[in-house]
Amino acid sequence: MNRQIGGSDETAQCRYCDGHVSDRFRAVFGDEDDVAHRCLGCDCFRRISRGSAAGVDVDLVDPAEDPNRNRGQRVGAALRADGGSL
Ligand SMILES: [Zn+2]
């Protein structure tokens, strides 16, 4: 049987929300140690692409602070499971 891969590796988690982040995501968007400070579960792609996942303070509205603005594709995805009312 397969064991869970990377289950105890805390670097495979977003530092902000503890959501799982892939090796690929951390390599591309994480900091120099491949640590993801934000992920697509708690931040929008615009901010991540400007460095928020690498710990950079991005001058865009943080969806965690203002969830009605600047929503990422997956930010609050569970909250939109009601079919969406936009
Ligand atoms: Zn996150």
Q: What is the pLDDT of residues 6-28, one digit of tens each?
A: 444 667 999 999 999 999 999 99
> pLDDT category, 66, cuts 50, 70, 90?
confident
Q: What SS3 class is residue 5?
A: coil
User: According to the model, what pLDDT value does residue 6 have?
Assistant: 46
d(CA 74, CA 48): 12
The model carries a pTM of 0.69
CA of 85 to the centre of ligand 1 (A): 24
User: According to the model, what pLDDT value does residue 65 have?
Assistant: 86
CA of 61 to the centre of ligand 1 (A): 15
CA of 86 to the centre of ligand 1 (A): 24
* Whether the predicted pLDDT of 86 surpasses 90: no
